[in-house]
Amino acid sequence: MRVLGIETSCDETGVALYDTERGLVADALYSQIAMHAEYGGVVPELASRDHTRRLLPLIQQVLDEAGLSRTALDAIAYTAGPGLVGALMVGASTAHGMARALEIPVLGVHHMEGHLLAPMLEDAPPGFPFVALLVSGGHTQLVEVQGLGRYRLLGESVDDAAGEAFDKAAKMLDLDYPGGPHIARLAEQGDPGRFRFPRPMTDRPGLDFSFSGLKTHTLTAIRQLEAAGELDDQARADVARAFEEAVVDTLVIKCRRALDQTGLKRLVVAGGVSANVRLRERLERECAKRDARAYYPRGRFCTDNGAMIAYVGAQRLLAGEHDETGIMKAVPRWPMDRLEAPAGA
């Protein structure tokens, strides 16, 4: 089955072609980061308009790369949520329009399920069951995964997600959007011993996250340095280092608890923040202590992309799922615990 995947949930337009016999055939991505950086964050209306401009040319680019025409497609999968409703509608309407014209099935896919299963696109994918840390701009979650659609939420952020915290801390330090890569680069120059920021919610049982207090602590530290006339380049790097280490430590501590609680030996880490080098190094060490293994998607599949949507769509389409004719799905808020395993799985 050849499945076209379409991702338009936020600020990346992603398209990919997945063949259930050959694997990933082609993929393309257009990032809107440069456009939104001017505003310090994603502007929903601009995002929707840019998806409209980019989507059809990207679909054609993927088909050309695969050497196929649209009539060779067997099905289309698109991101139905969660995400920005206008951006979601661009992908949903395009997918349904193409599917109706080609008389093929179409299916709306959960964005975070795409991230969750993105490592399945690698040459050595994880087997079920595993613990997954989903850590992106809008979500920080720990999930126990027993199979496709068989998910148990272990913990999640009660306020800011880790990616949002990186963005806000970066803004405090006058760094560009998105914050994660810029914080990480600046932190490399920082003194790890100058500041120690709190590791929120690690002093109590449980697997939930909270980064709002860390954000406030970071702002307070910056204002104190400003008041003392000490906020120079080195101080900014030291703050970035302390902030990054606090986020990484918090994520690692919670992953350790999740592995111990479930007794599982496989950890999947996905979402944009999963590209953070310090986080990967720390998780690798923790997994080695437990005779466990960590799995990640390749770099370009850490952020939003069409390949993960095509893959998840293919698995659910094979199990008999599809949208009802003419009924598009665009769900801005869609908790993962509402997902179910396909009846045919």
Tens digits of residue pLDDT in 243-260? 999 999 999 999 999 999
Per cent of the chain over pLDDT 90 is 92
Does 135 belong to an annotated binding site?
A: yes
Q: Taking Cα atoms as reference points, which of 22, 20, 30, 1 lies closest to residue 306? A: 30
Distance CA 242, CA 114 (A): 31
207: pLDDT strictly greater than 80: yes
Decide if pLDDT at 32 tops 90: yes
Q: How far apart are CA 82 and CA 131, in angstroms?
A: 21
Classify 49 as helix, strand or coil: helix
Average pLDDT of 86-92? 98
Give percent of the chain with pLDDT exceeding 70: 99
Q: Is 208 annotated as a binding residue?
A: no
Q: Is 212 annotated as a binding residue?
A: no
- Which residues make Cβ contacts (< 8 Å) with residue 43, sequence separation at least 6? 36
Q: Which distant-in-sequence residues (6+ apart) come within 8 Å of 39 by Cβ?
A: 177
- Indicate if the pLDDT at residue 196 is higher than 70: yes
Residue 305, annotated ligand binder? no
Query: Residue 344's pLDDT band (boundaries 50, 70, 90)?
Result: low
Mean pLDDT of 193-202: 96
Is 299 marked within a binding site?
Answer: no
Q: Would you say 84 is a known binding-site residue?
A: no
pLDDT at position 137 is 75
Residue pair 7/308 in contact (Cβ under 8 Å)? The answer is yes
pLDDT at 345 over 70: no
Q: What three-state secondary structure class fits 99?
A: helix
Q: How confident is the model at residue 23 (pLDDT cuts 50, 70, 90)?
A: very high
- What is the mean predicted confidence (pLDDT) over 145-172? 94
pLDDT for the residue numbered 166: 95
**What DSSP string runs through 204-217?**
SSSS-B--HHHHHH
Is residue 248 part of an annotated ligand binding site? no
93 marked as binding residue: no
Quick one: average pLDDT of 77-91? Answer: 97
Whether residue 13 contacts residue 307, with contact meaning beta carbons closer than 8 Å, is answered with no
pLDDT for the residue numbered 195: 97
Mean pLDDT of 292-320: 96
Element (H, E) at 135: strand 130-135
Please say if the pLDDT value at position 219 is more than 70: yes
What's the pLDDT score for residue 136?
83
The mean predicted confidence, pLDDT, of the chain is 95
Residue 276 in marked binding region? yes
Tell whether 62 is in a known binding site. no
Number of H helices, E strands in the chain: 10, 10
Amino acid code (one letter) for 123: D
Going from the N-terminus, what domains does the chain have, and what CATH number goes with each? 2-117+301-338 (3.30.420.40), 128-296 (3.30.420.40)
Report the C-alpha gap between 157 and 208 in whole angstroms: 6
Confidence of residue 328 (pLDDT cuts 50, 70, 90): very high
Q: Is 147 marked as binding a ligand?
A: no
Q: How confident is the model at residue 343 (pLDDT cuts 50, 70, 90)?
A: confident
Radius of gyration, CA atoms only, the chain: 20
Distances (CA, A) of 206 to 194, 211, 245, 260: 29, 15, 20, 12
Question: What single letter denotes the amino acid at residue 9?
Answer: S
